[in-house]
Chains A and B, each alone.
Chain A
Amino acid sequence: MSRILPVLAVVLAIVVLWYAAAVKMNAAWVYDQAARAGEPAPAFSQLVRLTMNQDRPVLPAPHQVITELANSTLGMKISSKRSLVYHGWITISATLLGFAMGTGLGILLAVGIIHNRAMDMSVMPWAIASQTIPILAIAPMIIVVMNSLGVQGLIPKAIISAFLSFFPVLVGMVKGLRSPDQMQLDLLSTYNANGAQVFWGLRLPASMPYLFTSLKVGIAASLVGAIVGEMPTGAVAGLGARLLSGSYYGQTVQIWAALFAAALVAASLVGIVGIIERRTLKRMGMAR
């Protein structure tokens, strides 16, 4: 209870602030309407009522966003083009495919790096330096180039996702595979263990906490990649496309609903990885 209460208080404060901001930011439109109709400016109580349910508010009130979110998830068929479940699934499938590709590639390269000194010295500095590069900027180019090669739909988005999740996993895995200390490695060499046995018996298990930490970063990054990857395609489908079409047509409520859906997806993806992490580490006796 003592942990939940402060969080609830903060969330409540955010909601209150949001309502206040909604009133303030949407008031201009109400005054404008009143002035056009030749009426006197509305009183405060009426102003609040009028700012809460506009069609295209500058800042939609929280309940409007929740209603839109509920309508577009529960309120219509999943196959409908306006359903957020449909768009969300498109984004999630690209995210997961890209995440799997990026993670697999990252782990493979990490294994290569710790076993090959030349690879370590050549690739690792570039891998670290590449973290400082805004990779997301190449997203539109990948989409268009893949398109001109005849590859459309899921794959180009997944490649962007893979790109983004690849580097955290690579760096984390290299750190993790190197985490056994000299004493443990020496012990295995007194057992006359060969390279493969050291890898499967010591290095890989020891790297698990590092792997899961970077998986959580990686899956959040994958989702961002998939969402941004959906933007330059001309707003066909996916959460990113909902954001873009909302911004084209001034549908602010739709943007916010898509944003909330993206937040929910991100939270549940990271949460699922977290649950797997806890289960795995517990089974392996590494739970803290």
Chain B
Amino acid sequence: MIWVVFSLAFWVAAWALNVRLSHSSFVKTRIGQLIVPAIFGVTLLVLWQGVVTGLQVSPVILPPPSAIWERILASGPTLWADFQQTFMKGALRGYAIGCGAAFLTAVAIDRFPFLQRGLLPVGNFVAALPIVGIAPILVMWFGFDWQSKAAVVVVMVFFPVLVNTVAGLAASEVMQRDLMATYSASYWQSLFKLRLPAAMPFIFNGLKIATTLALIGAIVAEFFGSPIVGMGFRITAEVGRLGLDMVWAEIAVAALAGSAFYGLVALIEKRVTFWHPSQRG
């Protein structure tokens, strides 16, 4: 009981601190912007730990964060092998192939307004479909190893990137395109000098959406069959034998990998589209 009381008290204290902090001038600084959400995150962890220990919740239902952390430390090599199989082999390769193919397709159909008008509604439609469903089919076609996972990722990331790139290529203004024409720029010159740079904010929007989809695709595809390594495989296997601390450890790794991947793409975006108003703020 003392655990529950302590964690509730910690929660109240942290919340009061956050209320004070968010009304002070300290939050205007960069550190302040980071410290308030950090306090909230720590509070959640303490609350989780306190309630689980205090009420003696069975570790089969919800393991405390400390147990998950111990599990992460204890099974580092397994987690690393799973991460390599799912993220490096499945998700990253699929992401590269899918985004590359979508980009090239977008540039190709951009030359033909007819195709553009036809493919865009279809692409928008497909982007709303539950594409994860093709995972069992692709696992049948490409086997259990990472190739089938990469294939699922390719299909999942293709349409968001395609739709965004096509929209981006149309983003340059008529005036700007006329200026290129008065310079007698060729198609390729105006593509590389004007239209692709102008499309970059849109393309990166698609690429950022695709990072999450890539990881989801790679993990869910493993639910349908995989070699005995991989994050999706580990999650289903450990859920089956009620090793929930291992499941949470995998989820922590997945969350970390997903955020890092997104952050990396966002960082590249910042470098590439430094001129865009949203990046100058």
User: Contact residues of A with B, CB < 8 Å?
Assistant: 2-3, 5-11, 14, 58, 117-118, 120-126, 129, 131-134, 136-138, 140-141, 144-145, 148-149, 216, 220, 223-224, 227-228, 231-232, 239-240, 243-244, 246-247, 250, 252, 255-256, 258-259, 262-263, 266-267, 270
Contacts and interface: CB of A to CB of B under 8 A. Distances in A.
Contacts of B139: 247
Interface string B122-151: 100100111011101101110000000000
Interface of B: 15, 18-19, 21-23, 27, 33, 36-37, 39-41, 60-62, 114-119, 121-122, 125, 128-130, 132-134, 136-137, 139-141, 211-212, 215-216, 219-220, 223-225, 231-232, 235-236, 239-240, 242, 244, 247, 250-251, 254-255, 258-259, 261-263
Contacts of A134: 212, 215-216, 219, 254-255, 258
Contact of B128 (A144, A149, A250, A267): A267
A266 B231 CA distance: 28
B129 to A, nearest CB: 5
A227 B133 contact: yes
Given A137-B219, A137-B250, A258-B133, A144 B239 contact: yes
Contacts of B212: 131-134
Contact of B117 (A7, A141, A263): A7
Contact of B258 (A8, A132, A216, A262): A132
Given A132-B211, A133-B259, A247 B136 contact: yes
A155 to B, nearest CB: 15
Given A148-B60, A266-B129, A266-B130, A122 B40 contact: yes
A148 B240 CA distance: 12
Contacts of B219: 134, 136-137
Contacts, number: 163
Contacts of A239: 133
Contacts of B119: 6, 10
B22 A117 contact: yes
Contact of B247 (A124, A132, A141, A227): A141
B132 A224 contact: yes
Given A118-B36, A231-B223, A255-B136, A58 B128 contact: no
B133 A137 contact: no
A145 B62 CA distance: 8
A126 B41 contact: yes
A10 B115 contact: yes
A97 to B, nearest CB: 17
Contacts of A123: 37, 40
A118 B215 CA distance: 32
B117 A137 contact: no
Nearest to B32: A121
A129 to B, nearest CB: 6
A117 B61 CA distance: 34
A58 B141 contact: yes
B140 A252 contact: yes
A260 to B, nearest CB: 10
B22 A125 contact: no
27 contacts: A2-B117, A6-B118, A9-B118, A10-B118, A117-B22, A117-B23, A118-B22, A120-B22, A121-B18, A133-B258, A134-B255, A136-B132, A136-B216, A138-B247, A140-B235, A145-B61, A145-B244, A220-B128, A227-B130, A227-B133, A228-B220, A231-B223, A232-B236, A232-B239, A246-B136, A247-B139, A252-B137
Contacts of A149: 61
B55 to A, nearest CB: 14
A133 B254 contact: yes
A2 B240 CA distance: 54
B23 A10 contact: no
B157 to A, nearest CB: 13
Contacts of B130: 220, 223-224, 227, 262-263, 266
B37 to A, nearest CB: 4
Contacts of B36: 118, 121-122
Contacts of A145: 60-62, 244
